[in-house]
Amino acid sequence: MQTNMDREAKAILLANDRGGYTIPTEGLYPYQWNWDSAFAALGFAEFDLARAWEELETLFLGQWSDGMVPHIIFHKPDPRYFPGPDVWGGIGPIPSSGITQPPIAPVFARRIYEKNPEVGLAKVKALYPKMVAWMDWFMAWRLDQGAVCTTHPWESGRDNSPDWDTAMNLIDPVDVGEYQRRDLSHVDADMRPKKWDYDRYIWLVNQGRNNDWDQEKLLESNPFRVADPTMTFTVMRAMRDVIALGEIIGADVSKQITDLEVLEAGAETIWNTELGAYDARTVATGSFTGVASNASFLCWYGGLKAERALTRLDKTLAKTPYPVPSHDPDSPRFDAMRYWRGPSWGFMNMLIGLGLEEQGHAQSDQIRLATRRLIGDYGFAEYFNPLTGAPAGGQSFTWTAAVWLTWASPTKEV
């Protein structure tokens, strides 16, 4: 029995469908975003399995020859977004950005396969080499002591997180030039990154384009490199599911098993004993952020039992009525409405909750119910004030609708 919220969530996915790919929301994000698209696929799988597979197939059409899957694929020109394909100068088969995003697609490909293995087997066989190539790319170009790094705040998906402040301070955005942001015509400036952030975002884009997105050159010249819980745990989880899918189709997964061991050892290098949580580590300085983010709690999603992180999680859950905040509310850098410096995100809650459930931790139910209340009371916003629940960012958002359909709705308990 569908609820009105179920029907509204489905309608949002259909409204944001652009024929083969789904935009996050009208206006603010008019292209195909990598991890948003994976959530769209999972949402479509609730009522249109063929369309779910098509979403993933379209995403991988943008894969570069080196294996990287871009964070934005510019299928059709749209002047409402900056920076567009001309600024990025991507070198893939379809105009795209020059960085990637957390690899959610392999994880959800497995979940979609499990809905109908008979239909999904051929789809998995076709996508599997592409998923392996993406995992190989991460292992070749994004590791530091086995932890996975982000080389641009946008690559992590957590654009203006305080986790990047130390690395961002290493950048002097000289010659960034004049540019016109488009996001502020869609969303209140108090909910978005500041100009200080954007100058450095664009400087990093320019640096990548000027180096033709040569990963070896950028490894030497890019001052922004942060061993990141988001990337470490999402790559770790994707590797686990690539192994599982490989075993299903009879592939040799020995390399992936070895790579997973490297990632698990690498996770130890981002454990901050003083904080009692996994923490972002700036490679250039070796320093931790020192504050728990919602990405700190993706450790269970990554496949770790991580009982030692539960105390910090419980403390964080107790601080806000609408968890999980993207930054600790006790931190002086907390900002309840500014993007990744405080707000709660439904899709992050889902990943955290799924991981906790898989590892047998009861906090999964608490986070799921809090997310149900948050979306049920305040709608399908991009993100939310963790103190008041107030909706923020874009509205009628694809991944929030997908979270409702696949995890938060009370009908998912039936």
Which one of 159, 199, 259, 357 is the catalytic residue? 159
pLDDT tens string 217-243? 999 999 999 999 999 999 999 999 999
Contacts of 40 (CB under 8 A, 6+ apart): 13, 16, 21, 22, 55, 398, 399, 402
Residue spans of alpha helices (H) in 47-94: 49-61, 85-88
Give mean pLDDT in consecutive 10-residue pieces for the chain, a chain of 414 residues.
88 98 96 98 98 98 98 94 96 98 98 98 98 99 98 98 97 92 89 94 97 97 97 98 98 98 98 98 97 98 98 98 97 97 98 98 97 98 98 98 98 78
Residue 229 amino acid letter: P
Asked if 204 and 171 touch (Cβ cutoff 8 Å), the reply is yes
Tell me the whole-structure pTM to 2 decimals.
0.97
pLDDT tens string 72-106? 999 998 988 999 999 999 999 999 999 999 999 99
Closest CA to 40 of 64, 73, 18: 18
* Tokens 């697609």 belong to residue: 105
Closest CA to 68 of 135, 15, 22, 123: 135
Check if 259 is active-site: no
Q: What is the pLDDT of residue 184?
A: 87
Q: Residue 276 corresponds to which tokens in the numbers above? A: 């009692």
Residue 293, phi then psi, degrees to nearest 5: -110, 175
Check if 159 is active-site: yes
Q: Quickly count: other Cβ atoms within 10 Å of residue 310's Cβ.
A: 18
Which one of 6, 36, 46, 382 is the catalytic residue? 382
Q: Residue 267 corresponds to which tokens in the numbers above? A: 């996770």
Grouping H, G, I as helix, E, B as strand and the rest as coil, residue 227 is: strand
Q: Residue 231 corresponds to which tokens in the numbers above? A: 């990337």
Q: Residue 49 corresponds to which tokens in the numbers above? A: 């399995």
Between CA 77 and CA 85, with CA 81 as vertex, the angle to 5 degrees is 50
CA-only gyration radius of the chain, Å? 20
Catalogue the E-assigned strands of 101-232: 143-144, 147-150, 226-227
DSSP letter (8 states) at residue 80: T
Q: Residue 329 corresponds to which tokens in the numbers above? A: 């509310």
Q: Residue 343 corresponds to which tokens in the numbers above? A: 């707000």
Q: Residue 87 corresponds to which tokens in the numbers above? A: 């600024």
Q: What is the pLDDT of residue 3?
A: 80
Q: What is the pLDDT of residue 191?
A: 84
